[in-house]
Each structure stands twice: as structure tokens, then as C-alpha cells.
Chains A and B, each alone.
Chain A
Amino acid sequence: MIDAPSSRRLDHRLPERFMPTINYDLCRVCRRCVNECSYQALEFKESRVVPSGGCVACGRCIAVCPANCIEVRPVPPQFAPHGNWSERSRRSILAQASSGGVLLSSCGADDTHPPIFDDLLLDAAQVTNPSIDPLREPVETITYLGRRPGRLEVCDGKVIVQEDDTPLIRMDMPLMFGHISLGSISYNAQKALFMAANELRIVAGSGEGGLHPDFYQYADRICSEVASGRFGIKPEYLKGVAAVEIKIGQGAKPGHGGHLPGEKVTTMISETRMIPRGTDALSPYPHHDIYSIEDLAQLVSVLKESTEYRLPVGVKIAAVHNVGAIASGLVRAGADFLTVDGFKGGTGAAPRVIRDHAGLPVEVAIAAVDRRLTQEGLRNRVTVCAGGGVRSSADMIKALALGADVVMVSTSAMIAMGCRVCQQCHRGLCSWGIATQRDDLTSRLDPQVAAARIVRLYRAWNEELKEVMGAMGIDSVESLVGNRDRLRYRGPNPKIAEVMNVKHIGEGWG
């Protein structure tokens, strides 16, 4: 091993990224910020609070300061400007030259791939059809999740409904919470999500870390995840919930397994996951009982047998380049619903190189899946859920119009609880008590308060959805799903519009 003697080593310390700046004229020296900063980026020294390095801009101090006198400022570029060698590229190289490690991060891809959502414009009704006022006339957002029969049989003029064959979950809005595991987030944070899902009458993913016994009270709003690590999978986890979903991939890290750093494996996590305390909880990259599509069919079938065909069984995949064909394979393998997770989707820990460079934007993936399933005559047999980088009700509406029946959200729910997207989840120090297992930090999050904030957020989004549908002259959400005619593309690359089967702005209808 080549290494220099320690006397000749230079510590290539990286410049700070953020600087908490205190207005000492206003500071009351209450030291609350010092106590609240889980990254220890502030210290009390010589009768005042000073930055001590390592600020990640989690914003906790700003929120707790009673004098409103802290600002967290991004540190301006510290290296000589260069058009190609960005500050980040040089920081990464320096860090890896020191550590030799794989760069780890969290949250969704933060590189500057412009979201295609921002290049789409919505249609509205003018003259040839009337818009609808959602406050005064019904505009429906009820959505069902699961397999659909495609057609109903008719016998002697009598329509036969075989309800038992096709389990479906009814939701009040076309929205579901993505899978965020207990472990990656705290007990309180997960509880808030389940409480909110229950109140909103939608479905929340369990994540792959199993279900805490306390959470079975929300079971009929929970979709259990069966991931390659098979954590927490016991009969109640399969039978007692609303739906079961096999996780093949995650948008933030397609082709990669789960990784829960040992810092976050506390006794509680060790118990729900059945792994040694303090160990890194790893999920294998593939499912070792799925090496091919017929093996997936086998896992779908065994879950259906195990749940006695009472629950919808879905499959979640990361959006990858061949997503259309894969989706059609999933339907043929028996999936009742599929979830497509776009490349901007969040994560609690993922190698940067995968998070920022692998996968397919969800906008394109939705359109590709919707189109392929339509071509194959399968689109009216399944529910398509999609998410990964949905930041607003506008994104949600565009995702629906592109062809998703249900939009999956996670990061926005976390932000509603307090997350500031500081991208430190993998360190387990979340100052907001969300992505951490440290008791002093998790106790900062009151599940009741957090749940109420989540509920308010998505109620508002749903109202905004109704407003837009009303403006389009659509009074029920199923008539928006896949209605790409009501979208126009105004971005830099018309080829994207073409592959998404969306017309360019300026192209009319006739």
C-alpha cells in the first residue's frame, strides 16, 4: 500500500459549504441553536455563539432562534473558477483521494438535470367547452388501486360483477405515500405518515424495514413492501394490510440494494428487521429468488397464494431505459399494480454516482409505460403508480395527465414534517427527528403535529388538482389520467415531446 509517513501528510481539508451567520446585535445568547444543532456546527465560545464548521444547512437553528437572528449563508466558490471543473467535481475528487470511499448521499438526484415537468404546460377550457367551478360542482378524485378486469361479463343481459376476483383499494385522491422504511426514518416520522394516510384515506408504503407492532392499527391504509432484504416479513405483514408490493428497484438507485448504515440500527430497528444491533442493514441488490421475469411471476404468485388472493399485489421498479417493456412484463407476470419510481426519487442512502447518473426521468417513464401498456392492450388491466421528484401539485397533475393513475410522493411529505432536504439522512443525525434513530432527536418530532401538517399539504394539493381539472372541463380524475392531449411541451428539446407523445406548444387540436 502506497502511503506517505504521517509527518508529510497534508490534510486536504475542504472549504465549508454553509456558514451560519449570527447577528450579534440581536442575539440573546440563549444557546438554543447550539443545543439543537445535531451536526455541532455551532458552539458557545467566549460569551457568544460562533460557527464551528460542518454546517449542512438543515435550517434547524433558523427555526428555533427566538430572536430570528441566524442566517445560513452558502459559502461562495472557494476554488478558482473553471467552466468544466465545477466546485463539486473538485471537492469530490479531493474527498475520495483522502478516503478512497464510494461517495454516499441521500434524497433525490441534486445535479442540474432540469425537470421535464417544468417544460410542460397544462390546457384549459375556453368556449368550446365550459370550465367547472370545483367549489360549487362535483369534481371527483376518488381513485382505485389494483387490478381491473378489463371488461365485465354479460350473461343474458345481466352484468356479472365478480368483485372477489379483483381486489382493489379505494382512495380519496390519486396519491400514495412512497415506501420509507422504519430505520431510514424514525418511529415518530413513520407514525406521522401512517396517521396522515389514514386521515387522507390514501395508502402509505411500509418501506422495506418491516412494520412496528404499534403500526398495525393503520394496516388497512398500509401497503407492505417485500424487498430483497425480506425484513419483517411475517404472516400479519402480508395478510393484515391493504396491499403488498414487491420492490425490485428504487428510482434513486436503480439496480442497487438497500443500505441502512449501522448508526441507525438501534434495538428497535434490530428487532423489526431481525438483524444484529449496530450492523449495516443490507438488502441484496437483486431478490435472490428473482433472476428472471418468470421468477417474478413466481414471487407474485406465492404472495397471492399466501394472501389467499385477497390483496392486490404490486411491483415497484425504478424507471430505467427499457421501462415500457419491463412494465408490460410485470403485468403479464400478474402484478395488480405497478409503481414506477423516477430517477429524481428520494433515498435514505445511496451512492452518489448512481443517484445522480442512473435511471430515467419519471415524466418520460410514465408516458412510455402508459403507451406501451396501451399498445399491448394491457393498460386497462392495471393501476400505474408513479413518482420520483414530484414537487408540487402541478407536477402531480402533469404526472396524471402523462398516464399515471396514482402519484407517489415521499419527499414532499417529509418536507411537510420539517425536512429541509439537507441530504444528510445517511448520517442519522437529522436535526428534525425524521431521518434519525437518536432518541433526543426523534423526540423533537410530534407525530400528531407532523401528521396534521402532511394532511393539510395534500388536502391543498387535491384542491389544486380539482381547480385544474375544473379549468380543463374535466370533472373526474380518471378522465385526466393519460390525457396527454391536454399537455403541451415548451422545452428545449422537441424530441422529448415526441417520445412522450405530447404535442409541442403551438400545435393545436385541429
Chain B
Amino acid sequence: MIHRKDRRDRTDRLGAPVRAENYIASSPPGWQGQLGGCGIASLISLKGERIGGERITRMLTIMEERENGLGAGYACYGLFPDRSDQYCLQFFFDDEEGKRNVEDFLQGRLDIMHDEVVFIKERSTISPPYPIVWRYFVDVPENRVWRGDRDLGEEDYLVEIVQHINANVPNAFCVSSGKDMAVFKGNGYSYEIADLYDLDRYSGTMWLSHSRFPTNSPAWWAGAHPLSLLDWGVCHNGEITSYGVNRKLVEMNGYRCTVLTDTEVVTYLWDLLVRRNRLPIEVAAFVMAPSTYQEICLLPPAERRLAEWLRITYKEAFLNGPFSIIVGRSRPETTLIALADRKKLRPMIAGLSPDDGVAYCASEESAIRIVEPDARTWAPGAGNPFIAVAGKGVLRRGTEPSFQGVRV
């Protein structure tokens, strides 16, 4: 049992008291979101093979200069081959009560097929309190009703459940809710988090990771990256200057913002544009980081029309300001997407192993070289998505013309 009152004053690695407060599932009082810089790294096995957690840990921790110990996290895809058809809801609980609250709420709403504790080292360099991390493998029942609506699709229903828990159920936060994936994150340096969860014990076909440099405390475990909804996992470096506008669009479409960061909104945007509005990934990427109208004028007529209408229709989805993001999903295929803003104000390097077996994306080349000394690396263009699919290869290097491969 963990109680808030157990908390003691702590110091960070530099000996300075940076964390006056440490919050896990419940958000800090008066939470209004947080800014920060970051490091991101990811890898995907193009052959669909499983890669151990130590590899991504090395990638991320080499970029230690990019973080300040106030949050790091990992997402692993292809993690549960035996239960890949069930949704894995992974939670942070402040205490046993949070767990009870969630279980009471899930009762009758989802069919829990299996649940288990997520391993956390008892002793770690991160000072307690630690959350209780628990996962539930669930099926969505056939006859489901959410607020009188019987026609919600399985995924929309799950989105409602997860968002309701995060907004309303005390002492609990659902950190990931997709199939065949889970998120491991918390408040500490990248290597501390890897150590805390003992990532070496896991392996998967794709990993995303993130370490952060927020400008301020308090630290909130649930607010660390990756942020996730369904199988979407998003790591984000930068600051979206259009946050207020983007947030309006997702809220208009029924998403509830609880973490209050731009990354959360980016996560919902991917879900909205690609899963719900069914835009192809390249098109969604264009929407988020569009070409200027001047560039659009130079496109062939059909593409030009598409580009204009994308900008007009989805102008609230335009992510302005500097960002580079790494996005993962497990359905329909395990896919890695990397995208930088249209002026390429945040770093992003892509790489491929010599045998074309593994693709990488990271903030710095060093993150790739440390695990793949002979990788071939390149820089995806501004606003130009990199897309790789497990079992298929790199579908887009991020250097192609805007709508290459898109049927217009």
C-alpha cells in the first residue's frame, strides 16, 4: 500500500530538490499542462522479429543530455503474442483504492479475461512512492451501451471508457489501452525508468521511447510520454504553438483532454484523422504539417486541389510550431511513423540496419549508431513522414514528394 503521506523530500541526481511533489495517477492540483524539450528514439523490426528492451534503452539513454530526470517512458508493440486480440489496459494506481475504483467501474462494461501486476523493482534510484502498475486484458462485450448509445464501435466504446476513467475515476489513470502493446513510463531519467520496469525482460517488434526536459515541476507519472490511446503511442519533442486551436478540434470530436499537453492532443488527432476519418497516414501527416500555399500552387492539379482542401477542411489539425514526433500503432499492422514540423525546427534522423532488418528513428544519430554502428542514416524532410511497417519494410523514407503513393 502506498500513501501520499509517505513522501519525503528528495533530491535529483544533481543534489538539487527538483521534485517538491510527485504525482502518479492523480494529476497535481491546478495542473495546467507542461512545456518541455525532449529526446525521442524508436526502432521497428521490419521482418517482424522480436527485439529486446535493452536495445531501446541504450538508444534513449545515450541522449541523456536531452533530459533532466523529470520523466521518461517506453512503448512496446508486439508485446503479447499470446493475447494479441485482447485490449491491454495498463493502469497507474495511486493506491489500492484506485484499483478498486477502476475494477468497480469496469464491472459489466468490459469483459476482463486476465489481469496481472506489472513488474516494478522494489528498490530503484527513483525515490518512492511508486505507482501500483496493473494490466487488464479485456474483450469489449457484444452488447454494450455508453450513455444510451448502443451503436458505438468497439474502439469508440473503449475510447469513451478510458477517457471517462482518466477524467472521473479517482486515484487511477489508464496509460495505455491498445492491443498487443503497453506503455512503461514514469518520473525519472530514461535509464532509471528502464531499470524500474526492468525492460530487459520484455521484447517486441517495435519500441518507442521518450525522455523529457520539462521546464518545471511537479512531475506527474501519467503525464510522461509516450501518451497513448487505443494502440496509438506518441512521443513528441517540441512545443505546438497552435495547441489551443488543435485542442478545440479534438474536443469538438468528443475527446476529453486530461493531461493538458500538446502531445495528448497530437495523440487524439492521429486517432481522429487516421482511425475515425480514415485518412491515409501520408495524408494525415500532410494535414498536421502542410506545405505552404505557395508550394501547393506548384503541385499538379489533382494534388493541388487535394492539398488545398485538406488545409481548408482540417485547418484546426495543423500543428504549428516546432515538433518532431514518433507515432506507433499495432492495428491493422505494427507501424512506425515519424514526422517533423514543416520548417524542420526539431531534429529527426532515420536509419536502416545493413541487412534492412531494423529501421530506426531518433532525435540524434548517436541513438542509432550506438546500437547499429553500420546503419545507413538519412534525414526525413520537413513535414514529410517516415513510415515503416513490421513485416513489410520502410514504406516511406520521408524524402518523397508530398502525396507519393496517395491515390488522388
Q: Which positions in A face B, CB cutoff 8 Å?
A: 125, 128-130, 132, 137-138, 140, 142, 144, 148-152, 154, 156-159, 161, 163, 168, 370, 374-375, 377, 379-380, 472-476, 478-486, 507-510
Contact = CB atoms under 8 A, between A and B. Distances in A.
Contact of A157 (B239, B305, B343, B407): B407
B239 A128 contact: yes
A377 B316 contact: no
Nearest to A405: B315
A482 B320 contact: no
A380 B305 contact: no
Contacts of B277: 151-152, 154
Contact of A478 (B253, B294, B305, B315): B315
Given A128-B37, A152-B277, A161 B309 contact: yes
B331 to A, nearest CB: 16
Nearest to B34: A510
A478 B283 contact: no
B318 A510 contact: no
- The DSSP consensus for interface residues of chain B is loop
A467 to B, nearest CB: 15
A125 B280 contact: no
Find the residue from B37, B306, B309, B310 having the highest chain A CB count within 10 A.
Answer: B309
A475 B251 contact: no
A507 B314 CA distance: 30
Nearest to A477: B315
B279 A473 contact: no
Contact of A158 (B290, B343, B408): B408
Nearest to B305: A161
Contacts of A158: 407-408
The 10 closest A-B pairs by CB, nearest first: A479-B242, A479-B320, A485-B244, A478-B315, A510-B34, A483-B244, A154-B278, A158-B407, A129-B239, A473-B241
A151 B34 CA distance: 30
B238 interface: yes
A84 B26 CA distance: 55
Nearest to B276: A151
A379 B216 contact: no
A377 to B, nearest CB: 5
B14 interface: no
B373 interface: no
B77 interface: no
7 contacts: A128-B239, A140-B293, A159-B406, A163-B305, A475-B343, A476-B292, A485-B244
B249 interface: yes
A128 B215 contact: yes
Nearest to A508: B32
A137 B343 contact: yes
Nearest to B317: A380
Given A157-B407, A159-B280, A161-B306, A379 B33 contact: no
A380 B316 contact: yes
A156 B279 CA distance: 10
Contacts of A380: 249, 252, 313, 315-316
B141 interface: no
Interface string B272-299: 0000011110010000001011100000
Contacts of A474: 241-242, 320-321
A483 B408 contact: no
Contact of A377 (B244, B245, B253): B253
Contacts of B305: 161, 163
Contact of B252 (A128, A140, A161, A374): A374
Contacts of A161: 305-306, 309
Interface string B315-345: 1101011100000000000000000001101
A152 B215 contact: no
A497 to B, nearest CB: 15
A510 B215 contact: yes
B371 interface: no
B15 to A, nearest CB: 24
B36 interface: yes
A482 B34 contact: no
A24 B32 CA distance: 66
Given A161-B305, A161-B306, A144 B312 contact: yes
A65 B262 CA distance: 59
A322 to B, nearest CB: 21
A150 B292 CA distance: 21
A483 B313 CA distance: 18
Contacts of B318: 476, 478-479
B248 interface: yes
A223 B242 CA distance: 30
Contacts of A379: 248, 252, 316
B322 A159 contact: no
Given A157-B280, A374-B252, A473-B321, A509 B33 contact: yes
Nearest to B242: A479
B225 to A, nearest CB: 15
B387 to A, nearest CB: 14
A138 B241 contact: no
Find the residue from B36, B290, B305, B314 having the highest chain A CB count within 10 A.
Answer: B314
A476 B245 contact: no
Contacts of B242: 474, 478-480, 483
A484 B246 CA distance: 12
Contacts of B311: 478
Given A125-B241, A149-B313, A483-B242, A473 B322 contact: yes
